[in-house]
Amino acid sequence: MEPFRIILADDEPITRMDIKEMLEEEDFLVVGECGDGLTAVNLAKAVKPELVILDVKMPGMNGIEAARLLTEEHVAPVLLLTAYSNVEMIIQAQEVGVLAYLVKPVTKSNLIAAVRIAISRYKEFDVLRNEIAGLNEALRTRKLVERAKGLLQKKYLMSEEQAFKKIRMISMKQQKSMGEVAEAIIVSLGST
């Protein structure tokens, strides 16, 4: 099994070095390091790591804003590091989709546990996102087929079953999905 690839962004080089050492001792691979959020976002988009660890307070783009971008675009899960543990900061982290939150100073055991949980949760969310996308596509296809059946029934005085069989037959004959066939029927019969 290949090691998990991680990008580490913290504007304090000593902190980055310490965290990198902790990660590498546990066979994680730090594939990128930087001191600001914008560079972290760009690195993550290029490298596609399993996790991005961001400090909250960094010059330019802070960790919260970088986490928001990474989460919205489904680039990678984010673990947020901060010296601040106030409720407002935690709420902001939750709102942008951060999967783990650690308060400095970080211990190796806390870091490794948070890394593993963040990666695991992200994989679970990814499976759910894919399932939702599949369900949405199935619903879209069903609606198209229903509309196309209605048009066929009206135009050719077919029963619902005959219209469905016609769509299915065209689908098999042309080796196209039923959704594609239904869309074509809607385009051709929808304006008549």
Looking at residue 101, which CATH number applies to its domain?
3.40.50.2300
Instruction: Please indicate, yes or no, if residue 111 is contained in any of the structural domains.
Output: no
Amino acid making up residue 179: G
Whole-number Å distance between alpha carbons of 22 and 79: 15
CA 88 to each of CA 67, 92, 95, 113, 180: distance values in angstroms, whole numbers, following the listed order: 16, 6, 11, 24, 49
Low-confidence ranges of the chain (pLDDT < 50): none
Q: Are 70 and 41 in contact (CB under 8 A)?
A: yes
10 Å CB burial of residue 105 (0-12, 13-18, 19+) is exposed
| Structure tokens given for 38 | 């914008």
Domain count for the chain? 2
- What is the Cα–Cα distance from 172 to 96, expressed in whole angstroms? 45
User: For residue 121, is it within any domain?
Assistant: no
Is the pTM higher than 0.75? no
**CB-based burial, 126-161: b 16+ in 10 Å, e otherwise:** eeeeeeeeeeeeeeebeebbebbbebbbeeeeeeee
Q: Are residues 31 and 95 in the same domain?
A: yes
Residue 153 lies inside a defined structural domain of this protein: yes
CATH number for position 144? 1.10.10.10
Measured CA to CA, the distance from residue 66 to residue 52 in angstroms comes to 10
Q: Residue 119 has what pLDDT?
A: 86
Whether residue 147 is found in the same domain as residue 101: no
The pLDDT of residue 192 is 52
Predicted local distance difference test score (pLDDT) of residue 128 = 82
57 touches 34 (CB < 8 A): no
Q: Which SS3 state, helix, strand or coil, does residue 170 take?
A: helix
In a domain, 126, yes or no: no
